[in-house]
C-alpha cells in the first residue's frame, strides 16, 4: 500500500484555499499511484478554529468542502480532518473527526477521544469525546486511526481517559495513523519522537504521523511529520517549517519499503523537559519558527509591509533582521527616534544595521516633542523630581510616531519587547509595548542574543557593538537595564523556573538563588499581569508562552512561598 502524507499550511476559515491545496495534493498522489493520502487534524477548516465552531454556517462550510473533496477520492482513499456534527443529542454538539473518503463517498468517521484542555488547547469547549472505537478496513489493511492527543496518553495510569489504542489494538490493526495539529515549541519535536516510539514499542505496529505546518496568529506548527516502523526505527521525517508531500510503501507483511533514518536505540525514550534554562537549545528551530510566524501573519492577514522602531539595541536589531528575512528588506522600514539620552553610537549602530540589511530607514529626533510634553505637563508635574513618568513620555512619544506612520503608510508595527522584559513589566504601555505582532515576546533576553549570533552565522549582520554593549532603554542619563533588573544570566533562569517549570518561590530559592532576588522577581511577574493582558499577539516558541499559553487572573492574590 502506497500512502502519502500531506503536510500542508492551512488558513483558518479560508475554505476555498484549503480545499484547493488539498485537491492539488490528492491529484499529485493519484498521478503517482497512491492508494491513500493522509491530511492533518481539522485540515478542512484549519486549526485551531476556536469559537468559529459555534457558527452553524462555519460547520456547514466544512461539510460543503468535504462534498467537494470526495469527488476526487475515487481511486484513492483520502483521510482528512474536520469538525462533524454530533447527532446523538448527548454532550457537545461537535466531534473532532477524521473522515475516510473513497469511491466518492464517506466510508468511515473516527472521532477524537482525548480532548486537550491545557496550555494553548481548549478543545473540550467545543468537542465531545469519542464513545466507540473501530479500526477502518481499507484495501485489505486494518487502519487504527487516531487524532493528535489520542497517542499521548499511553501510561498504565491514564491522566484523564483511556487511550483509544488500547481499544483499537484488540481488533488487530496493521498500522497506526495519527493525524495531528501539534504546535511547535523548542522541546516538542523531540517530544513527539519519544511519544511515537513509546506507542510503537507498546503496540508493535508501524505508525504514520501527519502534522500540520504553518502559523495561526501566535501558534506555530512545524510539520516534522514522521514514519516509524514496527521496531520503533524512524524511517522518514518530513521537513520542519515547510509544506511537503511524501509517500511510504507498506508491504503485505507490515514492513516498510524504506531504509532506516534513525535507529530506535538512538531515539529518546521520554519527553524533553529541560529542568534548567538553556538559551542555545534548538536555536535554529526557534529562528525558523519566528520566520514562519512573521510570514504567515502577514500573508494570511494580507499585510505587506512592516515598520520597526530601531534603537541600536539587541532586541530591535534581531526583530529588524528577522523581518527583513521573512518579508524582504524592501518591505521593512526602520525608524530611529533618538532623544536627549540616546548615545551617538546607538544611532550609528542602528544606521549601520539598516545598511547591512538594505532596508529603508528614517531618523526622527524626539527632543522637541518630548520638551513640548514637559512644558504642557509642567502645571501638573510642578517641581516634582524626574521619574518614570518622564522616561515613559519618551517611550510613548516613540510609540505614537510609529503608530502614526503605520496608519499613514499602511505598515504593521512589529513589537520588539522580549520575554524577560514582559515578565517583570520592564516596558511602557502604549510606548515600546505597542505593536501588531510581538516577535520576541516568547524569547528570553539570552535567547535574543543567541538568535543574533545565529543570524550572524555566515556574516556579520548585527554588529559587535550591538552584541556587546550593556542593554539600556536610554531613557535617562547613563541608564542600564542592570540598574533596575538583575543580570539576565540570573534573571532568565529564575523566570524559567517560575514560568516554564511552574516552580514555587521556596523551590527556586532551594536551587541556590538569592532569597530576596527571587521574591522581588516573582512579585514583579505577578503585579505586571495587567500589562501583558493589553499586549499584542506573541509568536509562541516555548512550552509556556504569555498570552495564548499562560492564562493568569490580573487581580489574584497568591502566596508564592
Grid cell, residue 29, equals 498522489
Per the CB < 8 A criterion, the answer to whether 526 and 554 are in contact is: no
Quick one: angle between helices 445-455 and 488-499, nearest 10?
110
Grid cell, residue 46, equals 484549519
Give the DSSP letter string of 290-314.
Answer: HHHHHHHHHHHHT---EEEE--SSH
Which pLDDT value is given to residue 457?
Answer: 96
Residue 305 — φ and ψ, nearest 5°?
A: -125, 145
d(CA 25, CA 21): 6
Interatomic CA distance for residues 14 and 10, integer angstroms:
8
Confidence (pLDDT) at 158: 46
- 0.85 exceeded by the pTM? yes
Does residue 159 contact residue 191 with C-beta atoms inside 8 Å? no
Q: What is the pLDDT of residue 155?
A: 59
Predicted confidence at residue 270, as pLDDT, reads: 85
Q: 3-state DSSP helix/strand/coil percent for the chain, to nearest 5?
A: 40, 20, 40
Q: Which CATH architecture has domain 283-482?
A: 3-Layer(aba) Sandwich (3.40)
Q: What number of other Cβ atoms are within 10 A of residue 132's Cβ?
A: 9
List per-residue pLDDT tens for the chain, 561 residues long: 999 999 999 999 999 999 999 999 999 999 999 999 999 999 999 999 999 999 999 999 999 999 999 999 999 999 999 999 999 888 999 999 999 999 999 999 999 999 999 999 999 999 999 999 999 999 999 999 999 999 998 755 444 457 899 999 999 999 999 999 999 999 988 899 999 999 999 999 999 999 999 999 999 999 999 999 999 999 999 999 999 999 999 998 888 989 999 999 999 988 888 899 999 999 999 999 999 999 999 999 999 999 999 999 999 999 999 999 999 999 999 999 998 877 788 899 999 999 999 999 999 999 999 999 999 999 999 999 999 999 999 999 999 999 999 999 999 999 999 999 999 999 999 999 999 999 999 999 999 999 999 999 999 999 999 999 887 767 767 777 777 788 999 999 999 999 999 999 999 999 999 999 999 999 999 999 999 999 999 999 999 999 999 988 888 876 555
Q: Is 30 exposed, middle or buried (0-12, 13-18, 19+ CB in 10 A)?
A: middle
- Clarify whether 246 is annotated catalytic: no
Q: What pLDDT is stored for residue 559 in this prediction?
A: 57
pLDDT at position 560: 56
181 in helix, strand or coil?
Answer: coil
61, 112, 197, 493: the catalytic one is: 112
* Structure confidence at residue 343 (pLDDT): 76
Locus of grid cell 529542568: 275
> What's the pLDDT score for residue 340?
84
The predicted pLDDT at position 436 comes to 96
SS3 assignment, position 196:
helix
Catalytic residue, candidates 62, 148, 215, 324: 148
- 500's CB contacts (< 8 A; 6+ apart) are 277, 542, 543, 544
- Per DSSP bridges, beta strands 244-249 and 94-102 are unpaired
Per-residue confidence (pLDDT) for residue 480, from 0 to 100: 77
Sign of CA dihedral 442, 446, 450, 453: positive
Structural class in CATH, domain 2-266: alpha beta
Q: What confidence score (pLDDT) does residue 408 get?
A: 96
324 catalytically annotated: no
Half-sphere exposure of 225 (CA within 13 A, CB side): 30
Spatial distance between the Cα atoms of 226 and 258, rounded to a whole number of angstroms: 13
* Domain ranges, ordered by start, for the chain: 2-266, 283-482
CB 429 within 8 Å of CB 534: yes
Residue-by-residue DSSP string for 451-480: HHHHHTSSS--S-HHHHHSPP---SSTT--
**325 is written with which cell numbers?**
528575512
> Is 529 tagged catalytic?
no
- Note the residue count of the chain: 561
Q: Nearest to residue 110, comparing CAs of 127, 132, 92, 141?
A: 132
Amino acid at each position: 500500500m502506497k500512502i502519502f502524507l500531506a503536510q500542508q499550511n492551512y488558513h483558518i476559515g479560508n475554505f476555498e484555499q484549503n480545499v484547493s491545496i488539498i485537491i492539488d495534493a490528492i491529484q499529485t498522489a493519484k498521478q503517482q499511484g497512491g492508494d491513500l493520502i493522509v491530511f492533518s487534524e481539522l485540515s478542512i477548516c484549519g486549526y485551531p478554529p476556536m469559537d468559529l465552531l459555534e457558527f452553524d454556517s462555519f460547520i456547514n462550510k466544512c461539510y460543503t468542502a468535504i462534498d467537494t473533496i470526495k469527488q476526487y477520492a475515487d481511486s484513492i482513499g483520502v483521510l482528512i480532518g474536520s469538525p462533524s456534527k454530533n447527532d446523538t443529542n448527548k454532550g457537545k454538539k461537535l466531534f473532532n473527526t477524521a473522515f475516510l473518503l473513497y469511491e466518492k463517498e464517506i466510508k468511515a468517521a473516527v472521532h477524537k477521544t482525548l480532548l486537550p484542555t491545557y496550555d494553548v488547547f481548549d478543545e473540550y469547549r467545543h468537542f465531545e469525546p469519542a464513545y466507540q472505537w473501530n479500526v477502518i478496513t481499507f484495501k485489505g489493511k486494518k487502519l487504527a486511526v487516531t487524532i493528535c492527543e489520542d497517542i499521548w496518553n499511553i501510561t498504565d495510569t491514564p491522566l484523564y481517559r483511556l487511550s483509544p489504542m488500547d481499544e483499537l489494538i484488540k481488533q488487530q490493526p496493521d498500522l497506526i495513523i495519527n493525524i495531528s495539529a501539534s504546535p511547535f515549541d523548542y522541546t516538542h519535536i523531540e517530544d513527539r519522537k519519544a511519544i511515537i516510539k513509546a506507542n510503537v514499542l507498546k503496540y508493535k505496529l508501524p505508525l504514520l504521523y501527519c502534522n500540520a505546518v504553518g502559523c495561526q496568529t501566535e501558534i506555530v506548527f512545524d510539520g516534522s511529520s514522521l514514519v516509524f516502523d514496527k521496531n520503533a526505527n524512524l524511517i522518514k521525517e518530513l521537513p520542519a517549517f515547510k509544506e511537503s508531500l511524501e509517500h511510504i510503501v507498506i508491504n503485505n507483511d507490515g514492513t516498510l519499503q524504506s531504509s532506516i533514518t534513525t535507529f530506535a536505540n538512538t531515539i529518546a525514550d521520554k519527553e524533553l523537559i529541560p529542568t534548567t534554562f538553556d538559551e542555545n537549545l534548538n536555536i535554529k528551530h526557534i529562528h525558523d519558527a519566528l520566520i514562519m510566524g512573521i510570514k504567515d501573519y502577514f500573508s494570511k492577514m494580507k499585510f505587506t509591509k512592516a515598520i520597526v522602531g530601531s534603537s541600536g539595541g539587541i532586541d530591535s536589531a534581531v526583530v529588524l533582521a528577522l523581518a527583513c528575512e521573512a518579508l524582504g528588506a524592501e518591505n521593512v522600514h526602520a525608524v530611529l527616534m533618538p532623544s536627549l539620552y540616546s548615545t551617538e553610537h546607538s544611532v550609528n549602530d542602528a544606521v549601520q544595521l539598516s545598511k547591512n540589511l538594505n532596508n529603508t530607514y528614517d531618523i526622527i529626533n524626539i527632543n522637541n516633542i518630548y520638551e513640548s510634553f514637559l512644558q504642557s505637563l509642567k502645571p501638573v508635574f510642578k517641581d516634582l523630581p524626574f521619574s518614570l513618568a518622564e522616561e515613559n513620555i519618551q517611550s510613548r512619544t516613540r510609540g505614537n510616531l510609529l503608530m502614526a506612520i503605520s496608519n499613514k503608510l499602511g505598515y504593521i508595527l512589529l513589537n520588539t519587547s522580549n520575554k524577560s522584559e514582559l515578565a517583570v513589566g520592564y516596558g511602557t504601555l502604549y510606548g515600546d509595548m505597542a505593536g501588531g505582532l510581538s516577535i520576541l515576546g516568547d524569547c528570553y533576553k539570552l535567547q535574543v542574543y543567541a538568535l543574533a549570533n545565529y543570524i550572524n552565522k555566515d556574516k556579520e549582520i548585527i554588529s559587535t557593538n550591538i552584541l556587546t554593549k550593556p542593554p539600556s532603554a536610554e531613557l535617562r542619563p547613563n541608564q542600564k537595564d542592570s540598574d533596575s533588573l538583575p543580570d539576565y544570566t540570573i534573571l532568565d533562569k529564575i523566570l524559567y523556573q517560575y514560568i516554564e517549570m511552574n516552580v514555587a518561590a521556596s523551590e527556586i530559592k532551594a536551587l541556590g538563588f538569592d532569597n530576596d532576588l527571587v521574591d522581588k522577581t516573582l512579585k514583579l511577574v505577578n503585579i505586571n499581569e495587567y500589562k501583558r493582558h493589553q499586549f499584542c499577539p506573541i509568536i509562541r516558541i516555548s512550552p509556556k508562552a504569555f498570552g495564548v499559553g499562560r492564562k493568569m487572573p490580573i487581580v489574584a492574590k497568591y502566596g508564592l512561598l
